[in-house]
Each structure stands twice: as structure tokens, then as C-alpha cells.
Amino acid sequence: MNRIASINRKTAETQIDLKINLDGTGVSNIDTGIGFFDHMLTLLSKHSLIDLDIRAVGDLHVDAHHTVEDVGICFGMALKQALADKAGIRRYGSMILPMDETLVTVAVDLGGRPFCVWQAELPCEMLGAFNAPLAEEFWRSVSSAGLLNLHVILNYGRNSHHMVEAIFKGAARALRHAIEADPRNPGIPSTKGVL
């Protein structure tokens, strides 16, 4: 079964075209108009091994918020669509990820209930055109639209770039594990029989 999805979403604030292949090799083609965000999405693709194609046009004359949030919504929707009934996946994934002086812990459950716990206080610092706290907006949108449970803990760190990058890499690695096939359990990974 091909675990691919394509989302086209247009609002008065953004137009997003997004394609994913959950069984890819981490190839990406990203253009959101926000350089640092493109860098984070490229890392997300590379470390999750999800092929990711994103074209986003947003109201960047206002700021980056709507574009970042709406790309998160579309990525979450695409994950949900590509996973279908979630048969045969591991469901859970986690990662403790170091990046220089920063350490991040991320855990994910693809169990169908959206909840985001964010214990990562990021300084209100511009990384190019990307305000560091927008990382939370992106991942909250992914969690909500993708119907997944996501916990992000910034254990410690000083450099804003490192902190945001470690969060994206950690989330990517946790997702990679959660979407992988579980050879011991080809069915739905729940006693309820449905996710």
C-alpha cells in the first residue's frame, strides 16, 4: 500500500500545496518564502525519511505566523490521510536528541487523539524571518490536524537556532519510529481495534 497524501488548502491568508510519502527516503522540495522555516522542514523530511514537497504562498507582509500555522495544519492532515487506518504501524515514537548545548525530548502517539504538551520556552528571537516561538504554533497545528499526541520538552539550551532545530529533528525522529511498520503486529495497534 502506498502511504502518500496530497493536500491543497486555500484561505484568504495562505495557499498551501503539500505532498508526502511516508515510505520515502527523506527527499524534500520546500518553498514557503521563509528561509529558516524551509530549513526546518528540510530537516524534518531528512530525519523522518518522509518525502516532502511543499509550496506555500502566505501573507508574509503581515508576518510568518499564518504561513507556519497553515503548513502545520496541512502536514498534519497529510499524515492522517497517508496513515489511513494505521494498521501495522508502531504507533508510538520518542527521541532524546542532543544538539551542541541543547537537549530535547520528544514523544508521539499516533492514537487518534490530538493533544500537545509543550514545555519548551523559546526566546522571542527572530531567526531570519521566523520568530522562534512559531515552532510551537507549527507543532500544535500538526498535532491538532493530524490527530496525534505530541509532547515536546526542552531539557536545556541557550542558542535559539539550536533549540528550534533540535525540536524539529527530535520530532522527526519520533515520527519516523511511530510510522514504521511493526513486523510483529500487522493489525491495528490498539485493544479497541480502531484508531
pLDDT at residue 46, rounded to an integer: 98
Whether 58 maps to a domain, the answer reads yes
| pTM, two decimal places | 0.98
pLDDT at residue 179, rounded to an integer: 98
Q: What is the mean pLDDT of each run of 10 residues along the chain (195 residues)?
A: 94 98 98 98 98 98 97 98 97 98 98 98 97 98 98 98 98 98 95 93
pLDDT at residue 137, rounded to an integer: 98
Whether 195 maps to a domain, the answer reads no
Whether 148 maps to a domain, the answer reads yes
The Cα-based distances of 30 to 3, 58, 180 in angstroms read 20, 14, 23
Contact residues for 88 (Cβ-Cβ < 8 A; gap 6+):
181, 182, 185, 186, 187
* Pairing status of strand 51-58 against strand 14-21: antiparallel
pLDDT at residue 103, rounded to an integer: 98
Q: What is the CATH number of the domain that holds 43?
A: 3.30.230.40
How many domains, in total, are found in the chain?
1
Whether 192 maps to a domain, the answer reads no
pLDDT at residue 146, rounded to an integer: 98
Alpha helices in 30-133 (DSSP H): 35-48, 65-83
Whether 193 maps to a domain, the answer reads no
pLDDT at residue 14, rounded to an integer: 98
Q: Please give the residue range of the domain that contains residue 106.
A: 4-179
Whether 14 maps to a domain, the answer reads yes
Which element (helix H / strand E) includes 127? strand 126-127
In angstroms, rounded to a whole number, what is the distance separating the alpha carbons of residues 74 and 78? 6
Whether 52 maps to a domain, the answer reads yes
Whether 92 maps to a domain, the answer reads yes
Give me 90's grid cell.
Answer: 508502531
